Chains A and B, each alone.
Chain A
Amino acid sequence: MVSRRNFFSITLIMLVVVFMFQVPEVIKNQVNNYGENEYVEITDTGLTEKSVYTASEADVEDTGRFVVFIGDTGEGSVGSVVREWSFYTKRYMESYKSVKEYEPDPGNLPEAVLVDSKSLDMKKDISVLGSYTEKGIHIIFCNLPEVTEVSKNPKLRMMLGIKGVIREKIKVEGIRLMEGFLLGGLKEYILDETMEKTQQDMDLVMPWYRISGGAKMFMHGMMEDEDVEACYMMTEGDVITKNQNLPAVIWRNKYQNAMVFGVNGEYLSTNAGLGILSAMMVELKKYDIYPVINAQNLVVVNFPDLANENEAEIMKRYSRSLKAVCRDIVWPGVVSVAQQNSRKLTCMIAPQMEYQDNLNPEEDTLVYYMKLFQEQNIEMGLSGTYRKGTDVSTKLDKDIEFLDGVVPEYSMLSFYQGNMSDEELEDALKRKRFAQVRTIFTDDNKSEQLVSYGQDNMVKQRSINDGYSHTFSENLRMISIQTALGYSNIQVDINPIAYPVTEEDSWEKLSRKFAGNTSTYWKTFSKFEKTTLSESDAHIRKFLALNYKQEKKGNTISLELSNFQEEAWFILRTQGEDIKYAEGAEFEKIEDGAYLITATEPKVQLELEGEQERYYYQLD
């Protein structure tokens, strides 16, 4: 028999337990404002394409940022990369088709002359370039002429510090990127037993140039000792310092009064060259400070799929519907990776990719996800991906109809282009529902601008890395872009899971790659801000609008910002000196000699520790 007193106690406890579990849920549901996009206001900058700063000749006197490019600047060329880099680094760029067209103005010498070797007349132009170096103009050979030309031209070799051409063509084992050039430290792009062969996708075949003792190497080929010995007769000194003779890839030589950079390969032909160019400019100075976007995005596209599409295949593979796969398998995996790496997620939902079946997206599922998104501060955008055979216009209309029915007040700020063509995209964005879209997320394209304004003042952001793949060249590109812009965009596409083609298209395999890549390769860039696409959009708008002047007096670097709005971000690269004090800005150390500066006022002062300030000192 339970006494009355005990019965009362038990009942009371049960009530308390029920209350404790139910009340938070009730409150969470009440407070969860999933129907509104929380990023609408906080990411609104009001900046448009008109605000973009493009350096002009008149600015050069103030800023001193001026480069000359000799060569073709057409689409997909080295010139286009140089142009893009100049645009991002707020440099005024003059371009000429050939060397003879450019006559340096002694009163306004450029920081460097960048040369596309294809535009060179080897007989005449090398002497002219040599005359530039006499004036103290640094030369950057964005690529090198044919190896036979180099062999024949001693002046060019002397200028580049090439001691000799050991082999006209050699296949190296890997590529080594020296520490301190790009951000992220030392990288060795060489396969070991644990790696898949597909990882090595770098251009390993190159002419073998042996550079002179006074040159500084930034990137070189890696070879087995035996291969080096087989190809090249080594003297006693060479055996000890054999690594100095390895095939040169990127290096710098002092010639007359200037530095000459050589790039043995097509590393500056894609936007992977952005960071290399920035790093070269750092090498020419005691310090360098340049604006960056400071945004690290993780975008999951086509997730969640709200309809039970491709049911037969999905059931076969996962023994459950696509909706259940997304909810029970994909979602926990994606969220855990994001949380482990302190990433902010942007999910581009695909209500339904194929409206030809009788299935429709489920409203409850969308609400469920939107509540989760709200709790996790995840931004939701819309994916434009559609299945072949589906009319894209009809698909978008149905998507809009569905969304209007469930979350009519939700403002779509980002849109994923998917497999839509540019024209389809343009048409799509004319819809009223997309009037508030600010940023278009598109797939990777190495030769196009990484960030730029598109139609109706929308910002185009490109995916930089595929979450499921991270080859050596993708890594080099990623760190190069991080060095230049402090920006990365990882795209994780759920479409291969919904519509698998091969055995590899299964979440257990893809998720392993996604989790491994995301946790490993971005670690060194953890100081950059983790953003959603809308936040990144705001950063980009501010970055593109910004102009700045900088000067250094003693140990103090002063920055004067124009078109400044709330915050601006810079990377300061020094030769190992640390920042002692900052006024009008906050700073974080990325690595030795590299700082992320967050300017909070238009005038910033950074005081560096003196080069000679030591722990122990002598009293005067």
Chain B
Amino acid sequence: MSMEALTVLQCIGILAAYLTMTFVLPAILLYRKIQKLRFCERFIAYQMTGNFYMMNLVSVLELLHIANRVTLILFTVLPCVGIYAVLYKKRPVQVLNDVFDCLERLAGGQFGVRLFMRRVRQAVWKHVKKAVRALFRRIGRNFIDIVLIVALTAGLCYVYGTNLLEHFGYCASDLPVHNYWVNYLGRNKIFVAGIYPFGFHCVVYYLHEVFVIPTYVMFRVFCFVQNLMFHYVLLAFARYCCKSKFAPYIGVFMYVFLKIFGENTFLRFFSALPQEFGMIFILPSIYYLFAFFAKKKKQTENENADSQRGNEQPVLAGEHVIRIDEDEMPPLSEESIIRIEEHGIVKTSVGQEAEEVKPQVKKASKEKKSKGKKKEKLAKLLKSEDFWYLAGFAISFGMTLSAHFYDTMIAGLLCVGVAGGYFFRLFRPRNFGKVMLTGILSIFIAILPMLVAFAMGTPLQGSLGWGMKVISGENNKEVVQTVQKEDAAENAGNAENAGNSGTITGESGAITGNGGQTGTAEGESVAAAPRRSLPQRIVDKQGFAVQAFWDAMKTYIITDSYPLFQKLLVGSMIFLAAMSLIFFMVRQTDYAARCLSLSAGLVALSILQASSKLGLPTLMDATRTCIFYAYVLAAAWSLCADGVLQFIFGWFKRKWILHTFSLAALAAVVVSCYQEDLIRVPRDTPAMETNDAILCLTNIIHDNEDFTWTICSANDELRMGEDYGYHHEVHTFLKDLQRKGRTHSITIPTSKVYFFIEKIPIMYGRAYRGDEPEISEMFADEPLPRGSGISMYQGVNRLIEMSKLYEWAQEFAELYPNDVKVYYESDNFVCYCVEQDLYRPFNFSIDIKN
């Protein structure tokens, strides 16, 4: 089977597994309860439920050290059955009894096998027919939608999927680390390298364990699944926000298909990374806030209506009177009123009769009533929609933190935007408290496993420590210095200098560059300039901020080749704000608030994007911020397009006019983009590992029994094959050869040892000397590189290591011509296989010079 075909099958398999857990299973359980919601809302609910369950189940079982296939399946199936039975009021015992009865009758011969089979067949056929009919009915109703979603999926496969078929290896250098952490989840060692958000790892581990998908395969192709998912979620979110049917596709299609975005905005989508996985949960948290506030509006309207009615009814002096939604109210007579006592107990009185009840009986009944009311309250709370919206917000916001800290930051900023957009509802005492409490609870839920581990003595993982420093401001000095240096460099017109000096290398937290001194000097010279007046300074600052954002946007989000879209980016913020004003005026409050929220969210993101240029603490690297920026921008563009359509055609009572024009607008955008040659071609993102190495690894796992082989290679195979075999570092091997030489034996005690040699070593984060990095005797004669970590396999060091290993292999093959076999060879790569008798394994420390 070709690797390409295998990769396609693996993609399909993992997508099916993931959808089973995040769509099919939640849909089976929840559909009837939320069937009144729109599909986009249901989709988000299913996604959140499935992911939340997987993450937390694995976390709990890991903390209890009982995570394995059996427990995972057990704790998936049993709660599902339980929830199904509770929600749908099924009686599992009764069902089991029926089944046993049936089997008993079958075994006893009272029930013929043929009859039984016929009934089973009929039942299955009935369900299949029903399902097929329902499917076709839905396809018929939503034909255009389905076509567009298929087109989006095909586009995503083309844009992000083709790279998987071109490059089989990991495209990011930190994937082996994540692979390592997931491998250790299999050994019930969560947080093996320190405390870190493990949501993504838990999901990967769950799918690996339950669906028997090798972890290294998950990391190779899961990026495809998560790309699909966060694009679907984006579409669902846009669909929720927009009023027209097809305007949401405009922004999403532009985001996926146009080549206008800078590479940084999607480069990480070619790898299965936690941050990108966490993007699935950012927009849902905003959706739940929107939905919550929208629900509040209805409640307020109801309250207003009730209060108008209440004005016409007698009010008892000295007592607080509130009105409850009509649906939530118990049926009372017209004379009845609900009074809330000062101590909060609800008392209902009907005419004069209530005052005639004896005091003792009153007290007892009060207690009883208070208990009953508490239960009632809880039941009401669980039944109320706003509770579930807040719960959804808590879950999705919490999951951003479980997946990656950066996702929480973005979700938080967007929440600030929502606060801006829905200020008129948020800052009501009841709502504000609830929302804030929910936010705090969601963070608490997300960090609870980490807190438990921390309490048990597990230290923080390195990158988390760095994140904490950034938050606490310990890193600010360095960042400010860097920024000052950048500014100084820019002022001096030396862009190249600036680019080199201030590079923050992502999660490692290491800040390279040595321009601090220069920056300080420049800062002093700036300080020496004459002070301007306050208005002048404000104008200057404003201009500086706009310029800083403009520069950041040009650098990271949309390049200078597409000036129209640059303007569109900035314009969309202003346009959304303007639209919100219009819609506020025409009393489409929620729609206006959504527009304003997104606009405010984008402004907040803009500040984050330009933070280093503005001299603010750089909470997030600009190369990362732009990813989220572009993502949110897609939703904003959809809303802009929808706003225009709504403004023009929204007044028509017949909504099909609006939908038709939205489809026409989508078609117009697609055609014009095609004509302007703006369609994106898939980016070739090279992997950190050769295809040949992955091919060999896959074959080795296929050909051999587990733990009967060792791979001696540079790096990545260490974690990829950890569950199946052993790994020996090339550098260690060569160092042993050098150190032990003729005097000692070097053995690798497995029956097969594979040596992976890159004849043309790959670029692993550092360039080579010269253009042709081919292994040669010249490099083999150079001394073994000194140092530690990955630097051994970067740049010319990798060349030397590979050259030396190749030379050793040649010498060894001369000594053992029939035992050293070429397992696989291509122009760039060769894999040697040494088969040995374990009783007397080969001494790899050969006397090279006889």
Contact of B821 among A176, A611, A619 (CB under 8 A): A611
Which residues of chain A are within 8 angstroms of B561 by Cβ–Cβ distance?
Answer: none
Interface of chain A, main secondary structure: loop
CB distance from A449 to the nearest CB of B (A): 30
Interface residues of B in 795-850 (CB under 8 A from A): 814-819, 821-825, 835, 837, 839-841, 843, 845-847, 850
Which residues of chain A are within 8 angstroms of B740 by Cβ–Cβ distance?
Answer: 237
* B1 and A186 contact, CB distance less than 8 A: no
CB distance from B58 to the nearest CB of A (A): 30
Q: Is residue A616 within 8 Å, beta carbon to beta carbon, of the partner chain?
A: yes
* B818 and A256 contact, CB distance less than 8 A: no
Q: Is residue A454 within 8 Å, beta carbon to beta carbon, of the partner chain?
A: no
Which residues of chain B are within 8 angstroms of A21 by Cβ–Cβ distance?
Answer: none
Which residues of chain B are within 8 angstroms of A240 by Cβ–Cβ distance?
Answer: 745, 747
Which residues of chain A are within 8 angstroms of B839 by Cβ–Cβ distance?
Answer: 176, 178, 243
Q: Is residue A246 within 8 Å, beta carbon to beta carbon, of the partner chain?
A: yes
Which residues of chain B are within 8 angstroms of A615 by Cβ–Cβ distance?
Answer: 1, 699, 702-703
Q: Is residue A612 within 8 Å, beta carbon to beta carbon, of the partner chain?
A: yes
Q: Is residue B380 within 8 Å, beta carbon to beta carbon, of the partner chain?
A: no
* B840 and A618 contact, CB distance less than 8 A: no
Which residues of chain A are within 8 angstroms of B702 by Cβ–Cβ distance?
Answer: 615-616
Which residues of chain B are within 8 angstroms of A255 by Cβ–Cβ distance?
Answer: 850
Which residues of chain B are within 8 angstroms of A104 by Cβ–Cβ distance?
Answer: none
Which residues of chain A are within 8 angstroms of B823 by Cβ–Cβ distance?
Answer: 612, 614
CB distance from A126 to the nearest CB of B (A): 15
Binds B, one of A52-60, A209-217, A265-273: A209-217
* B2 and A618 contact, CB distance less than 8 A: yes
Which residues of chain B are within 8 angstroms of A179 by Cβ–Cβ distance?
Answer: 837
Interface string of B731-749 (1 = CB under 8 A from A): 0000000001011110100
Contact of A612 among B4, B698, B825, B846 (CB under 8 A): B825
The answer for the CA separation of A576 and B834 in the assembled complex, in Å, is 12
Which residues of chain A are within 8 angstroms of B408 by Cβ–Cβ distance?
Answer: none
* A243 and B840 contact, CB distance less than 8 A: yes
The answer for the CA separation of A259 and B699 in the assembled complex, in Å, is 33
Q: For residue A216, which residue of chain B has the nearest CB? A: B816
Contact flag A256-B843 (CB < 8 Å), given A214-B815, A237-B743: no
* A244 and B840 contact, CB distance less than 8 A: yes
Interface string of A217-239 (1 = CB under 8 A from B): 10010000000000000011110
Contact flag A617-B695 (CB < 8 Å), given A213-B742, A243-B840: yes
The answer for the CA separation of A216 and B742 in the assembled complex, in Å, is 16
* B745 and A213 contact, CB distance less than 8 A: yes
Q: For residue A215, which residue of chain B has the nearest CB? A: B815
Q: Is residue B710 within 8 Å, beta carbon to beta carbon, of the partner chain?
A: no
Q: Is residue A283 within 8 Å, beta carbon to beta carbon, of the partner chain?
A: yes
Q: Is residue B691 within 8 Å, beta carbon to beta carbon, of the partner chain?
A: yes
The answer for the CA separation of A339 and B6 in the assembled complex, in Å, is 48
Q: How many residues of B contact A (CB 8 A)?
A: 39
Contact of A286 among B3, B4, B817, B835 (CB under 8 A): B817
The answer for the CA separation of A215 and B740 in the assembled complex, in Å, is 18
CB distance from A134 to the nearest CB of B (A): 12
Contact of A618 among B3, B743, B747 (CB under 8 A): B3
Interface string of A352-373 (1 = CB under 8 A from B): 0000000000000000000000
CB distance from B573 to the nearest CB of A (A): 47
The answer for the CA separation of A386 and B720 in the assembled complex, in Å, is 74
* A241 and B747 contact, CB distance less than 8 A: yes
Which residues of chain B are within 8 angstroms of A176 by Cβ–Cβ distance?
Answer: 839
Q: For residue B833, which residue of chain A has the nearest CB? A: A576
The answer for the CA separation of A48 and B245 in the assembled complex, in Å, is 96
Q: For residue B835, which residue of chain A has the nearest CB? A: A576
* B840 and A178 contact, CB distance less than 8 A: yes
Which residues of chain A are within 8 angstroms of B814 by Cβ–Cβ distance?
Answer: 254
Contact of B818 among A158, A215, A575, A612 (CB under 8 A): A575
What number of residue pairs across chains A and B have CB atoms under 8 A from each other? Answer: 95
* A241 and B745 contact, CB distance less than 8 A: yes
The answer for the CA separation of A244 and B823 in the assembled complex, in Å, is 26
* A619 and B2 contact, CB distance less than 8 A: yes
CB distance from A580 to the nearest CB of B (A): 17
* B841 and A178 contact, CB distance less than 8 A: no
CB distance from A590 to the nearest CB of B (A): 18
Which residues of chain B are within 8 angstroms of A178 by Cβ–Cβ distance?
Answer: 837, 839-840
Interface residues of B in 622-659 (CB under 8 A from A): none
* A237 and B699 contact, CB distance less than 8 A: no
The answer for the CA separation of A178 and B840 in the assembled complex, in Å, is 9
Which residues of chain B are within 8 angstroms of A254 by Cβ–Cβ distance?
Answer: 814-815, 850
Which residues of chain A are within 8 angstroms of B698 by Cβ–Cβ distance?
Answer: 616
* B845 and A213 contact, CB distance less than 8 A: yes
CB distance from A127 to the nearest CB of B (A): 16
The answer for the CA separation of A611 and B813 in the assembled complex, in Å, is 15
Contact flag A614-B695 (CB < 8 Å), given A213-B847, A254-B815, A619-B2: yes
Which residues of chain B are within 8 angstroms of A220 by Cβ–Cβ distance?
Answer: 840
Interface string of B189-230 (1 = CB under 8 A from A): 000000000000000000000000000000000000000000
Interface string of A185-220 (1 = CB under 8 A from B): 010000000000000000000000000111111001
* B840 and A213 contact, CB distance less than 8 A: no
The answer for the CA separation of A614 and B698 in the assembled complex, in Å, is 10
* B6 and A614 contact, CB distance less than 8 A: no
Q: For residue A238, which residue of chain B has the nearest CB? A: B745
Which residues of chain B are within 8 angstroms of A619 by Cβ–Cβ distance?
Answer: 2-4
Q: For residue A222, which residue of chain B has the nearest CB? A: B839
The answer for the CA separation of A238 and B746 in the assembled complex, in Å, is 10
Contact flag A213-B843 (CB < 8 Å), given A186-B837, A576-B821: yes
Which residues of chain A are within 8 angstroms of B691 by Cβ–Cβ distance?
Answer: 618
Interface string of A157-170 (1 = CB under 8 A from B): 01000000000000
The answer for the CA separation of A158 and B847 in the assembled complex, in Å, is 12
Interface string of B654-696 (1 = CB under 8 A from A): 0000000000000000000000000000000000000110010
Contact of B745 among A158, A244, A256 (CB under 8 A): A244
Which residues of chain A are within 8 angstroms of B4 by Cβ–Cβ distance?
Answer: 618-619
CB distance from A97 to the nearest CB of B (A): 30
Task: Give the interface centre of A186, A611, A616, A617 by most chain B CB atoms within 10 Å.
Answer: A616
The answer for the CA separation of A619 and B691 in the assembled complex, in Å, is 11
* A611 and B744 contact, CB distance less than 8 A: no
Which residues of chain A are within 8 angstroms of B818 by Cβ–Cβ distance?
Answer: 283, 286, 575
* A241 and B843 contact, CB distance less than 8 A: yes
The answer for the CA separation of A215 and B743 in the assembled complex, in Å, is 15
The answer for the CA separation of A619 and B826 in the assembled complex, in Å, is 12
The answer for the CA separation of A255 and B823 in the assembled complex, in Å, is 26
The answer for the CA separation of A246 and B745 in the assembled complex, in Å, is 14
Which residues of chain A are within 8 angstroms of B816 by Cβ–Cβ distance?
Answer: 216
CB distance from B690 to the nearest CB of A (A): 10
* B841 and A241 contact, CB distance less than 8 A: yes
CB distance from B738 to the nearest CB of A (A): 15
The answer for the CA separation of A186 and B836 in the assembled complex, in Å, is 12
Contact flag A217-B745 (CB < 8 Å), given A612-B822, A616-B698: no
* B843 and A244 contact, CB distance less than 8 A: yes
Which residues of chain B are within 8 angstroms of A616 by Cβ–Cβ distance?
Answer: 1-3, 6, 695, 698-699, 702
Which residues of chain B are within 8 angstroms of A212 by Cβ–Cβ distance?
Answer: 847
- 25 interchain pairs (CB within 8 A)? A186-B837, A212-B847, A213-B742, A213-B745, A214-B847, A216-B815, A240-B747, A243-B840, A244-B747, A244-B840, A254-B814, A254-B815, A255-B850, A611-B821, A611-B822, A612-B823, A612-B824, A612-B825, A614-B703, A614-B824, A615-B1, A615-B699, A616-B1, A616-B2, A618-B4
Which residues of chain A have a CB within 8 Å of any CB of chain B? 158, 176, 178-179, 186, 212-217, 220, 235-238, 240-241, 243-244, 246, 254-256, 283, 286, 575-576, 611-612, 614-619
Q: A213-B846, A214-B815, A217-B840 are in contact. List 17 more A-B contacts (CB 8 A).
A: A176-B839, A178-B840, A212-B847, A213-B745, A213-B847, A237-B744, A243-B840, A244-B843, A254-B850, A576-B821, A612-B822, A612-B823, A614-B703, A614-B823, A615-B703, A616-B2, A618-B692
Instruction: Report the 7 A-B pairs with minimum CB-CB distance, sorted nearest first.
Output: A237-B744, A213-B843, A241-B745, A243-B840, A614-B699, A214-B815, A237-B745
